Chains A and B, each alone.
Chain A
């Protein structure tokens, strides 16, 4: 059980690191939001799931799952609100064509 928890946490950390690299590399605010959504939806979820598995099947397992569902429901709302504010105040995505 401990090894399952460790592997889940390490997978989550890998996604968190990739999201941070994306935050540094991507050119404009719309593209950076994609990297942030990658971080939120997989990295945090895997780390929290690993911590819940490490905790074992007690009441704390259920409470970590509640935090996980909160992150899952609320983070898209936040990033959509930010991106909509950027769109409505006149920013447009840059066309960087180097396929």
Chain B
């Protein structure tokens, strides 16, 4: 578990420092192992995430972002400004911290919907239009996010 974090930090060091002589690589290895050793394990365990589902989720989210971006662009450029903003209370079955973070971030990243308030089991979402919150109300986001994590419930 810790060794994965150390390897990830070391790869990030290699990408960001971009100088490959012995002393820089040694410093990077020492710092990466020290950080991963002293940091307590957070609530987001690497083993609980199914990385295959993440690989499918990211392109799907990018497609959603593209689609709703065109919708919001049309709303902004429309001369009559046909927006109908409202706050909706979205009940969800997701309760763990990791799932709520991923769900809230995805909602905020998609143009047209913004997470306003987060509590376990309920999100307050501001939407700019009726049609941009359709998939959220249908529960499509919840279903996609719940597939990302293997063990649900605790943590």
Contacts and interface: CB of A to CB of B under 8 A. Distances in A.
B80 to A, nearest CB: 7
| CB-CB nearest 4 A-B residue pairs | A76-B108, A22-B76, A38-B111, A93-B85
B126 A38 contact: no
Interface string A69-89: 000110111011001100110
A2 B148 CA distance: 37
Nearest to A22: B76
Contacts, number: 102
Interface bracket on B: 20 to 34
Given A38-B73, A63-B15, A80 B115 contact: yes
A30 B109 contact: no
Interface of B: 12, 15-16, 18, 65-66, 69, 72-73, 76-77, 80-87, 104-105, 108-112, 114-117, 124, 126, 128
Given A15-B73, A94-B85, A37 B114 contact: yes
Contact of B87 (A26, A33, A66, A93): A93
Given A76-B104, A96-B83, 17 more contacts: A18-B73, A22-B76, A31-B128, A34-B111, A34-B114, A37-B109, A37-B110, A41-B65, A41-B109, A60-B18, A73-B105, A80-B108, A83-B115, A83-B126, A87-B116, A98-B82, A99-B84
